[in-house]
Structure 1
Amino acid sequence: MHDCREDFPMVNDLSGWDFVFAFAKYGDEWRIQRRLFEQSFNVKASRKFEPQQCLASGDLLKWMLSSPDDFLDHFRRMTGEFIMDFTYGIDVQPLNDPYVTLAHDALQTLIIAGVPGRYLVDSFPILKHIPTWFPGAGFKRQAQKWRKLARGMMELPFAETQRQMGLGIARSSFASDSLNLLKDMDAGHAFFQERHVQTTAGTIYLGGTDTTVSALGTFILAMLANPEAQKKAQLDIDAITGGEALPTFQDRDSLPYISAIVKEVLRWQPVAPFAIPHRLTTEDEYGGYRLPAGSIVLGNAWALLHDESVYPDPHAFKPERFMLNGQLNAAVPDPEAAFGFGRRMCPGRHMANSSLWIAFAYILATFEIQKAVDSEGKVIEPTYEYQSGLGK
């Protein structure tokens, strides 16, 4: 199947998110950004960020201990700080950091603009050319305001990294490492330019914040609903650490059940039940159905990850489905559909998996996750309801 991206006039052309290669059409610019991303965050390269992941997860434990009821806020703070660290080498402020706040505000505009069918311009792209003063052009005036947020999210932290590099105080990060590599390379041999570093860095932050927070929240919900899984994981950790230390990435092979929990969290309640729309560039056929060129295809990750023939009893949270004789069962497919499909599969999935693994391991090693009780001591059952990331 030969596919490209659907047009997103409101998101890309008007609101300024055309720098995000996840939304871009297939072509040279997409390939350059994708290659730049993957060379920094493939399985091997992403391991250099493990110290920052451990540090971020350690900070998370301190925040959860001081105010456990605010765990979702702590998840957002942790992911924001970690991503700003490894993307730009920037230390953010504990509260109301301007970069994190800007990114959060910008992301909210994308959530609104990205709702399918909300804006008529997405169905009739010619409307993007009407003047802003024209009656009914309120969407363009709104997009002008949103564009400043999107561009600010891409430009401001990148400029700060460049400033630190100029002063000789920048630490290793995706942006500084890539810019140093570009400087050291012969211009004729560099496959990327400075603008590609800037736009790819902006994509990293966009792609890693709310998705990680959602998966961490699902983990808490899963542990509340499945205390036996929590207990097994804690016993496994204690068997390795003796209950006297935090697990490390070096313990990963010895703690396969924690890896199974990561897989099951991603499968059970995928962050993105439907993939970003794809547009076919050539005619294709699937299941006996003709799909003309130009057709819009939505990958149904939810259906794939809840296929009873692959994952029996799919609506139950069962990490042991990925286990066999105390080890991960290679015969059970990884829930890769949670990260998209084909050549557009999320290139940050290795970082996401390792971030979730160490955070889960740290939390399980130190906390007991229990259901809340009311003033009379009665257990408060979770609702198990999710808020959509679109149309908030």
Structure 2
Amino acid sequence: MLLLGLLLLTVLAGARLLWGQWKLRSLHLPPLVPGFLHLLQPNLPIYLLGLAQKLGPVYRLRLGLQDVVVLNSKRTIEEAMVKKWVDFAGRPQIPSYKLVSQHSQDLSLGDYSLLWKAHKRLTRSALLLGMRSSMEPLVEQLTQEFCERMRAQAGVPVAIQKEFSFLTCSIICCLTFGDQEDTLVHVFHDCVQDLMKTWDHWSIQILDIFPFLRFFPNPGLWRLKQAVENRDHIVEEQLRRHKESMVAGHWRDMMDYMLQGVGKPRVQEAPGQLLEGHVHMSVVDLFIGGTETTSTTLSWAVAFLLHHPEVQQRLQEELDRELGPGAGSSQVPYKDRTRLPLLNATIAEVLRLRPVVPLALPHRTTRPSSIFGYDIPEGTVVIPNLQGAHLDETVWERPHEFWPDRFLAPGASPGALAFGCGARVCLGEPLARLELFVVLARLLQAFTLLPPAGTLPSLQPEPHGVNLTVQPFQVRLQPRGASGPVLGESQ
């Protein structure tokens, strides 16, 4: 009986695919790549870029039973996401998205609508207006405390990824809940780690390619549901506490700000009403999008600097010129970040080479459109290959090389697309850029980064998973001015 049901589902899916192809016969579609096992490639963004060298920057390929369009250049990505942003602002509603996004109230995973725009506006206001005066002092304070903890481990090899992960989670906790208690930070940190690990498992990813498999037993699906329930329980407890102690017209943190912005009548062009569930999912987005992505980028920065001690030394010389040697309490305000051009260039280069989400999140066309002269039907899933665009030899000189100076030259290459662009650009980009600037400045001001026993970290991402996650490594943090080997000496 089970076999018969599987056969019937396969036949129906095949018939639907053939009917869809028949309807598209009169359109000028991008070229189609043969095969359907592309997701098995070990380095998917680089593989997709290789296909672009044969087929051009826009093509189609089949992921399971669905055709998707892949964009592999900065020009095509910006044409779709910026110039024609309304056409490409949708989000496909695949099984795992529906499960974790609370009936499409999620910002990152929710489909485009006028209510979604109002939700985005509220969250952006909470981040940029509600927390504007306290954001930088908070990041500075927590980073200073982080450096003090690292100083207590001076000379001992440190698993820096875990430390960065806890730091970024602490920052989000303070901004969102106004709470710096380690217990709450640990609870949220463990919750996010568990959710992301479960969501990234192959047993869940395969459901997004072959949705009919959700009707069959799947332990991974059960674990994901449990992780989502745990997540929601923790967020709901914070919502309850905030509602009990909130004072109208005053906000202590982002949750207060957003709670006071929901339930109000919206302007006429935004039908519907923002509800508490929208605040709930904004919090989820802030934690998922604002912890591991930033901590992973910081980890990549340290890994590259261990491989390039000459760049690290130049960065420290730049900091010393601006702040004075050993000026641990001095800082460059973020608004004056142009005073540290090499640091800004180094951050830009890390984001170019290692965008944490190299294929972004998939988009969906909201109406018929076109890219690069090709017809793109309504409802088409579109994947922007951000890493592919960052390695485009027609845009970047020596694209595979870590070379921050490319961003210092007159007429330097345009910035990377690590945070996306257009309507779906990452809401947390301003906070992430602030954190990258402050944390790296403080870290390099206080310490020299050295590989333990001369063992350099791998610059190849973890072999499994879609995201560009750095392989585990350790670093030795030598307080500056302390005795020991200096940069440039053999370890």
Q: Tell me the TM-score normalised to structure 2 length.
A: 0.68
Q: CA deviation at 1:352?
A: 0.6
Consecutive unaligned residues in structure 1, runs of 5 or more: 374-378
Structure 1 213/35 Cα, relative in aligned 2: closer, same or farther at 3 Å?
same
Match in the other structure for 1:333: 414
Match in the other structure for 2:199: 110
Match in the other structure for 1:124: 211
Q: CA deviation at 1:241?
A: 1.2
Match in the other structure for 2:50: none
Secondary structure at the counterpart of residue 386 of structure 1: coil
1:214 aligns with 2:289: no
Alignment equivalent of 1:380, drawn from 448, 455, 458: 455
Structure 1 160/262 Cα, relative in aligned 2: closer, same or farther at 3 Å?
farther
* 1:351-372 deviations in Å (ceiling 9; x for gaps): 1101100001001101111222
Secondary structure at the counterpart of residue 200 of structure 1: helix
Match in the other structure for 2:278: 196
Residues 1-392 of structure 1 mapped to structure 2, 5 A cutoff: 1=84, 2-3=87-88, 4-13=90-99, 16=102, 18-42=104-128, 46=132, 48-67=134-153, 68-93=157-182, 97-112=186-201, 116=205, 118-119=206-207, 123-124=210-211, 136=217, 141-165=222-246, 172-180=252-260, 187-188=264-265, 192-243=274-325, 244-245=327-328, 246-249=330-333, 251-324=336-409, 331-335=412-416, 337-373=417-453, 379-387=454-462, 388-390=464-466
**What is the identity, as a one-letter code, of the residue corresponding to 2:461?**
Y
Sequence identity (%): 24
Secondary structure at the counterpart of residue 339 of structure 1: coil
Distance 2:456 2:240 in 1: 47
Secondary structure at the counterpart of residue 79 of structure 1: helix
Structure 1 139/271 Cα, relative in aligned 2: closer, same or farther at 3 Å?
closer
Structure 1 139/366 Cα, relative in aligned 2: closer, same or farther at 3 Å?
closer
Paired residues in the alignment total 369
Match in the other structure for 1:376: none
Is this contact kept in 1: 2:170–2:185, CA < 8 A?
A: no
Whichever of the two has the greater Rg, that structure is 2
Is this contact kept in 2: 1:37–1:200, CA < 8 A?
A: yes
Distance 1:72 1:136 in 2: 35
Secondary structure at the counterpart of residue 23 of structure 1: coil
Structure 1 96/292 Cα, relative in aligned 2: closer, same or farther at 3 Å?
closer
Is this contact kept in 2: 1:83–1:208, CA < 8 A?
A: yes
Q: CA deviation at 1:40?
A: 2.9
Query: RMSD of aligned C-alpha atoms?
Result: 3.1
Q: CA deviation at 1:307?
A: 1.7
Distance 2:373 2:251 in 1: 55
Structure 1 217/288 Cα, relative in aligned 2: closer, same or farther at 3 Å?
same
The range that moved more, 40-49 or 230-239, is 40-49
Distance 1:287 1:234 in 2: 44
Distance 1:15 1:141 in 2: 16
Secondary structure at the counterpart of residue 347 of structure 1: coil
* 1:169-203 deviations in Å (ceiling 9; x for gaps): x97211123334669xxx44687443332321221
Q: Tell me the TM-score normalised to structure 1 length.
A: 0.83
**What is the identity, as a one-letter code, of the residue corresponding to 2:296?**
S
**What is the identity, as a one-letter code, of the residue corresponding to 2:175?**
F
Q: CA deviation at 1:161?
A: 3.2
Structure 1 47/334 Cα, relative in aligned 2: closer, same or farther at 3 Å?
farther
Structure 1 144/163 Cα, relative in aligned 2: closer, same or farther at 3 Å?
same
Consecutive unaligned residues in structure 2, runs of 5 or more: 1-83, 268-272, 470-491
Q: CA deviation at 1:96?
A: 7.7
Distance 2:286 2:405 in 1: 32
Secondary structure at the counterpart of residue 69 of structure 1: coil
Distance 1:64 1:274 in 2: 34
Distance 1:70 1:233 in 2: 22
Distance 1:19 1:49 in 2: 26
Q: CA deviation at 1:279?
A: 1.5
* 1:360-392 deviations in Å (ceiling 9; x for gaps): 10011011112221xxxxx22322222255599
Q: CA deviation at 1:77?
A: 1.1
Is this contact kept in 2: 1:340–1:346, CA < 8 A?
A: yes
Distance 2:395 2:130 in 1: 29
Q: CA deviation at 1:90?
A: 1.6
Match in the other structure for 2:47: none
The range that moved more, 218-227 or 87-96, is 87-96
Is this contact kept in 2: 1:105–1:149, CA < 8 A?
A: no
**What is the identity, as a one-letter code, of the residue corresponding to 1:83?**
I
Is this contact kept in 1: 2:419–2:426, CA < 8 A?
A: yes
Secondary structure at the counterpart of residue 298 of structure 1: strand
Secondary structure at the counterpart of residue 75 of structure 1: helix
Is this contact kept in 1: 2:130–2:254, CA < 8 A?
A: no
Structure 1 16/145 Cα, relative in aligned 2: closer, same or farther at 3 Å?
farther
